[in-house]
């Protein structure tokens, strides 16, 4: 696949519709396209994974990168958000490419700055990817969460919590239910359930099937970059062998549908720049993120 990273504010309406339709293919959500667009704009970048042969959309990933500078703290904060890749392409190096590019660039430009990553995981797969790639992910089954890390997670939860939502501080779980993965996407396989990180995620966040989020905070180090680079090489080699054995004949599911009647109706009926008093939009712009780290 080809990987494209674009600033969300530069995306046109047709691209937003394409991402919205892809998201709805994987999750059950009460969000309409306006709410989705506002959530998209609250993040800095949208990453799209496209099939090399026809350019069809096969995965999406939203993230932001924030610089925090005040009298007491200087750090970089990576905030990944929604991330979905079609089943055929899972297990490859694609997500690791993004993390590796961003983290290595930050360590080169700011070698003495602390590098954190907040996570909102309602998928055991996302949590498993983070815990296998990084040395310090909190909370986790094999290390105690330091008090200052726990306080940062609690502050983050209070920042992103929507009206009517509950936050379980003891478990670091935000009980959000207006969006959750479809059963065909979320059902764990036998190999997944044997992973202690996956088991821990399901134990501490039993409501994950409803959409409950396990909030995490990770400290990324240079050692983690080396681990991620090694995983990229292994997964790239494995992915290449798999592609040589099996070539998909599946037609593009999403991109060819962009100009059908439904998409045209969405673009005609909704002004993506209009404020309609939406209630389910999470303000994740984090304009006051420095207050959390003060």
How is residue 136 written in tokens?
A: 């310090």
Dihedral sign from CA coordinates of 282, 283, 285, 288: negative
Q: What digits encode the pLDDT tens for the residues 160-178?
A: 888 889 999 999 999 988 7
Highest mean pLDDT among 6-20, 123-137, 252-266: 6-20
Question: Nearest 5 degrees, angle CA 22-CA 25-CA 26?
Answer: 100
In b/e form, how buried is each residue of 7-35, taking b as 16+ CB within 10 angstroms? ebeebebebbbbbbbbbeebbebebebbb
Question: Nearest 5 degrees, angle CA 255-CA 100-CA 144?
Answer: 115
Amino acid 178: pLDDT: 76
Amino acid 261: pLDDT: 45
Amino acid 22: pLDDT: 86
Residue ranges covered by each domain of the chain: 2-292
Amino acid 146: pLDDT: 92
**pTM exceeding 0.75:** no
Q: What digits encode the pLDDT tens for the residues 14-37?
A: 889 999 888 888 777 777 888 889
Q: What digits encode the pLDDT tens for the residues 190-219?
A: 657 788 999 999 999 999 888 899 999 998
Amino acid 264: pLDDT: 46
User: For residue 254, what pLDDT band results from cuts at 50, 70 and 90?
Assistant: very low
Amino acid 154: pLDDT: 94
More confident residue, 76 or 260: 76
Q: Which CATH class is domain 2-292?
A: alpha beta
User: For residue 276, what pLDDT band results from cuts at 50, 70 and 90?
Assistant: very low
Rounded distance, CA 59 to CA 135, Å?
26
How is residue 240 written in tokens?
A: 């290449």
Amino acid 248: pLDDT: 47
pLDDT above 60 (res 251): no
Q: What digits encode the pLDDT tens for the residues 227-248?
A: 777 777 776 676 665 554 444 4
Q: How far is CA 5 from the centre of its chain?
A: 14
Quote the mean pLDDT of the chain: 78
């Amino acid at each position: 696949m080809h990987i494209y990273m674009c600033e969300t504010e530069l995306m046109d309406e047709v691209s937003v519709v394409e991402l919205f339709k892809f998201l709805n293919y994987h999750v059950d959500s009460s969000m309409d396209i306006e709410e989705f667009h506002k959530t998209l704009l609250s993040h800095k970048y949208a990453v799209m994974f496209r099939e090399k042969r026809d350019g069809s959309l096969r995965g999406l990933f939203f993230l932001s990168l924030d610089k925090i500078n005040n009298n007491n703290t200087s750090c970089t904060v990576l905030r990944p958000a929604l991330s979905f890749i079609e089943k055929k392409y899972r297990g490859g190096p694609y997500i690791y490419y993004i993390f590796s590019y961003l983290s290595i660039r930050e360590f080169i430009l700011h070698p003495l700055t602390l590098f954190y990553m907040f996570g909102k995981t309602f998928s055991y797969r996302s949590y498993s990817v983070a815990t296998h790639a990084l040395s310090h992910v909190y909370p986790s089954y094999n290390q105690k969460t330091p008090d200052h890390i726990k306080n940062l997670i609690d502050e983050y939860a209070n920042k992103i919590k929507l009206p009517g939502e509950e936050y379980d501080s003891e478990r670091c779980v935000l009980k959000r239910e207006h969006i959750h993965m479809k059963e065909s996407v979320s059902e764990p396989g036998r190999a997944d359930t044997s992973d202690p990180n996956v088991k821990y995620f399901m134990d501490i966040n039993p409501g994950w099937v409803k959409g409950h989020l396990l909030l995490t905070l990770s400290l990324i180090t240079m050692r983690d970059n080396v681990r991620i680079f090694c995983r990229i090489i292994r997964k790239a080699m494995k992915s290449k062998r798999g592609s040589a054995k099996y070539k998909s004949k599946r037609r593009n599911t999403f991109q060819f549908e962009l100009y059908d009647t439904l998409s045209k109706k969405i673009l005609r009926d909704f002004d993506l720049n209009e404020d309609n008093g939406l209630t389910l939009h999470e303000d994740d712009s984090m304009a006051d993120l420095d207050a959390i780290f003060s």
